[in-house]
Chains A and B, each alone.
Chain A
């Protein structure tokens, strides 16, 4: 069990940020909060540098695409307090067309590749990132393949055409 409960954790956040950080859910005891892109860097810095909370470990940065939402891209941060044995998830929703969010590389060097991967797959532009280019896909790729409008199957595939199956 964690040394601090989710209630204490939330109280710490709320005394600093008030109502601007809202609780979304608490699945499997994982506190999930939502904030804005203006505030996310402050929140991450607070969680990392707070002497009580000490979320010193950035587990992951990724994104989710919800094409039906107005703010279509949700950037997700997972933090882990190794000292308190507690985790937190932070979600930030940003515009799908003009998706800019401040980088977290000023807090964790490990954010560098995570943000490059998120850029590679979702096209999220992390402002202030030192070297934001593709990391896993081929450099000349133009699309962002994890977005929902991207076709799942490769259009060059020939042996799965309908006429081979009498359709």
Chain B
């Protein structure tokens, strides 16, 4: 029998017959362990993601076995691979179609900075068009690195205030990308 790991309760006050914690923590815990990633895989980082998703590395251990190939239901946009400038509007459209709260992970050198493709036809990092939460270095990164990046996303999700998306800082960030 394998040991089934269950996520522990968030910090709170416990007593006989009751447990009290803040809504932020409860929601964060639930979200962090049931993220639906949208894999936007364009090249070799996507192959590493396939390994990450498969049984050996098994991303479903982190509650992310349900890949969403529709942006409407996705929580996390994982951009893996070189994004050509012609692909930029497509990626942006996918991001706009995602519902809040949404997170973005740039996997690999190309998605983070353009990588070796320092040229006229390639976007020099997806953060030119959409905000990015976590960057994963590597060319391509190993599945361990992708999992590490995913766990950082989980940390962000777990600790995010439920009101963060309404804050002026967040609105300012979005408007700096010309969104809303």
* Contact mask for chain A residues 132-167; partner B; CB cutoff 8 A; 1 contact, 0 none: 000011100101010000101110111110000000
Question: In the complex, which residues of chain B have a beta carbon less than 8 angstroms from the beta carbon of A137?
Answer: 85-86, 120-121
Considering the chains assembled together, what is the distance between the CA atoms of A156 and B114 in angstroms?
10
Q: Once the chains bind, are B124 and A138 in contact (CB under 8 Å)? A: no
**Most chain A CB within a 10 A radius of its CB, from B88, B119, B120, B122:** B120
Q: Once the chains bind, are B120 and A154 in contact (CB under 8 Å)? A: yes
Q: Once the chains bind, are A138 and B86 in contact (CB under 8 Å)? A: yes
A-B contacts, CB under 8 A, total: 33
B165 to chain A, nearest CB (A): 28
Q: Once the chains bind, are A157 and B121 in contact (CB under 8 Å)? A: no
Question: In the complex, which residues of chain B have a beta carbon less than 8 angstroms from the beta carbon of A143?
Answer: 120
Q: Once the chains bind, are B120 and A150 in contact (CB under 8 Å)? A: yes
* Contact mask for chain B residues 74-86; partner A; CB cutoff 8 A; 1 contact, 0 none: 0000000000011
Q: How large is the interface on B (under 10, 10 to 19, 20 to 34, 35 or more residues)?
A: 10 to 19
Known: A137-B121, A145-B120, A145-B121. A154 touches B114 (CB 8 A): yes
Q: Once the chains bind, are A138 and B118 in contact (CB under 8 Å)? A: no
Q: Once the chains bind, are A153 and B85 in contact (CB under 8 Å)? A: no
Other-chain residue from B86, B88, B122 in contact with A154 (beta carbon distance below 8 A): B122
B75 to chain A, nearest CB (A): 29
Other-chain residue from A138, A153, A156, A160 in contact with B128 (beta carbon distance below 8 A): A156
Considering the chains assembled together, what is the distance between the CA atoms of A38 and B86 in angstroms?
36
A153-B118, A157-B124, A160-B118 known; 16 new pairs, CB 8 Å cut-off, are A137-B121, A138-B88, A143-B120, A145-B120, A145-B121, A150-B120, A152-B119, A153-B119, A154-B118, A154-B119, A154-B120, A156-B124, A156-B128, A157-B113, A158-B113, A158-B124
A positions within 8 Å CB-CB of B: 136-138, 141, 143, 145, 150, 152-154, 156-160
